[in-house]
Amino acid sequence: MKSPAPVEPYDLICLSHLRWNFVFQRPQHLMTRFARDRRVYFIEEPVRVPGSVSTLAVDRSGPVTVAIPQVPEGLDATQLDTEQRRLLDELIGSEQILDFVLWYYTPMALSFSDHLAPRAIVFDCMDELSAFKGAPQELKLRDEELMRRASVVLTGGQSLYEARRHAHPNIHPFPSSVDAAHFAQARSIVTDPEDQAPIPHPRLGFYGVIDERMDLELIDGVAEARPEWHIVMIGPVVKIEERSLPRRQNVHYLGGRTYHDLPRYIAGWDVALLPFARNESTRFISPTKTPEYLAAGKPVVSTSIRDVVRPYGELGLARIADTVPDFVRACEDAMREDAAVRQHEADAFLSHTSWDRTWGGIRILLDRALTTPQHATVDTIGSAVPS
């Protein structure tokens, strides 16, 4: 989809709970595209540092300006909000940000930004954050307030859209997309990265954040049931104790890797995994890695995550299993697939989606919100914009 020119020039201020340099995912894909023709400021959550003065660390090395509030240790919640508000106001003043859109990934940022007067407010609700481990008690109230204030609400998947569709008049599903060309590199890579090369085949791989959403019992059970298989886990471990991870000779934790390097690792896998637990934190997730695995040319085996089952499982693009015996059987079947047939079917599906297409659709909605005094309805806009 060809994206329209902006209605009028405006800057974009993105308020996020995710670090820019943590994992390259939805916010990075969208913000780098918006930065092609406007200034984009990505405001991270604060970092507590020794000292008594709050400062804003600003990184201008990439297409997006990343700002990290550095605040003294020991501040209470009210003081923290006051300092973040002051730092944000100073950034807006020093950068002469006069005409802007506010883009929220976390409703918690309202506590220090609700005084601003943007041209429009976008709530990109990529996850149900209130269901995540360690979520603040006030998150649900902030979420409700942001839903009232937002000009446009986006959801990161179809199931999350269905759960919220009646909560806002201008809400639209934009499921996980893919840079197919980037991951398709895996199909022609024949040399393993040094740390993966010694690991024997068959290799079953996963990359992403390793947290409370992982079904660790399933991973351990598969590793025990098939000791000749080797499970490769790539990604940072957060919010869970490392001692809780399965520790077997055939389970390998390689740590985080850059988005640039992921195709090199996937190239050496026999099966790509989505071993998510089925709990409140995964009820509405829409894993970006599903289409990325397919673009890389790998068979996919997943637990019954709703946004993987539909459409990928229903279309035969991913095998779905939840118990250890069923998951083992699904992996065995995946390794016997006809790779050429699978890749042809995956490519046909992926030809209808890309991050450029997703960005273009979102931009149409945003430009309409900037020129329409009242919210448009889901039917009139959603039907015209493919997700």
Q: What angle do CA 194, 198, 204 make, to 5 degrees?
A: 100
Q: Which two tokens stand for residue 137?
A: 């008690």
pLDDT of 181? 96
pLDDT digits (tens, 9 = 90+) for 131-161: 677 777 788 899 999 999 999 999 999 999 9
Spatial contact of 303 and 291, defined as CB atoms under 8 Å apart: no
**Peptide bond preceding 69 in cis form (omega within 30 of 0):** no
Which residue spans of the chain are classified as CATH 3.40.50.2000? Answer: 11-177+355-382, 180-350
pLDDT digits (tens, 9 = 90+) for 210-247: 999 999 999 999 999 999 999 999 999 998 999 999 99
pLDDT of 373? 58
Spatial contact of 350 and 184, defined as CB atoms under 8 Å apart: no
Q: What is the largest CA-CA distance in the chain?
A: 62
DSSP string, 100-121: EEEEES-GGGHHHHTT---SEE
pLDDT of 51? 84
Q: At the top level of CATH, which class does the domain 180-350 belong to?
A: alpha beta
Look at the pTM and tell me if it is higher than 0.75: yes
Question: According to CATH, what is the number of the domain 11-177+355-382?
Answer: 3.40.50.2000
Which residues are bridge partners to 245 per DSSP?
A: none
Q: Which two tokens stand for residue 157?
A: 């998947």
Dihedral of CA atoms 80, 15, 101, 11 in degrees, nearest 10, equals 100
Q: Which two tokens stand for residue 39?
A: 């200034």
> What's the helix, strand, coil split of the chain in %, to 5?
35, 20, 45
Low-confidence ranges of the chain (pLDDT < 50): 1-6, 374-387
Comparing C-alpha atoms, which of 259, 263, 286 is closest to residue 274?
Answer: 286
**Peptide bond preceding 311 in cis form (omega within 30 of 0):** yes
Task: Name residue, tokens 């079953």.
Answer: 204
